[in-house]
Amino acid sequence: MIRFLAAVVGSVLVTMPAYATDVAGQAPDDTCFQLAAAKHDQWLQRRVLIQQTKTFADGSTKEIAILATENTAYLQARTQWRSRSVSIRERAVPSTGQILTAMGLAHCTKDTTVQEAGHAATLYVYDYLPDDKGFVAHGKMWVSDATGLPVKEEMQDPAPPANAMVANAIVATYSYNDDVQVPAGAELADTTRLFNTAQLLRHLQSGSGTALGSGSR
């Protein structure tokens, strides 16, 4: 449960590379704070759908979908859905300041108004704080002019990846609320999870055994 929830909440900072924590004299500006506020409000929405593509050093890609409703979070990787009970309160981040610190933004600039997913959005470009070897990752965020919510993010990290599981580039798109429907595969995963939980509870209540079984290997 903890690992699953971390994957969901971690998507708040979907474009956050690793950065050095001892960089002095680089306080984020007001524009960076606006971006953090948009990310904070993102996770207060009733429904959030994140469609993410990671690109790795060898050119391979991996697609992930994360969907959060009022009381459930779904994660899709390699076509398979998983689900867990996660409330809006659990997935919300306490403050804009906390997100701003965790994102590690150094310089943020408001660029121009563009059309993104058929709607007017403002493009922001930014640099992250350098990592411990001096590499600086770059990001972009498109924020809806109508809602103030992120609709797309990109991150490019020039640092050599720590291992084959670390992406050099990430692109994520976002949908919200009435624009988000739970796919049949995700609903089936959640139904199966609830059924298995109920079966386990009935088993325990019957006194016929424990969740640990007989203890045999």
What is the per-residue pLDDT for 176?
97
Supply the mean pLDDT for the chain. 81
Question: Does 51 reside within a domain?
Answer: yes
- Our count of domains for the chain comes to 1
pTM for this entry: 0.78
**Amino acid, res. 104:** G
- CA-based diameter of the chain, in Å? 65
Range of the domain at 27: 2-205
Q: Give the pLDDT band (50/70/90) at residue 12.
A: very low
CA distance 144 to 123: 9
Question: Does 214 reside within a domain?
Answer: no
Question: Does 11 reside within a domain?
Answer: yes
Range scoring the smallest mean pLDDT among 79-83, 137-141, 212-216 = 212-216
Which residue blocks in 53-104 are alpha helix, DSSP H?
A: 88-91, 96-103
Calculate the CA 214 to chain-centre distance: 39
pLDDT tens-place string over residues 173-211: 999 999 999 988 888 887 887 766 666 656 566 555 444
Question: Does 216 reside within a domain?
Answer: no
Question: Does 200 reside within a domain?
Answer: yes
Gyration radius of the chain's alpha carbons: 20
Question: Does 212 reside within a domain?
Answer: no
Question: Does 163 reside within a domain?
Answer: yes
What would the two tokens of residue 14 be?
């979907």
- Beta-strand relationship, 105-116 and 169-176: unpaired
pLDDT tens-place string over residues 71-108: 998 888 877 888 888 899 888 888 999 888 888 888 99
The CATH number that applies at residue 129 is 2.50.20
Question: Does 57 reside within a domain?
Answer: yes
CA distance 10 to 73: 13
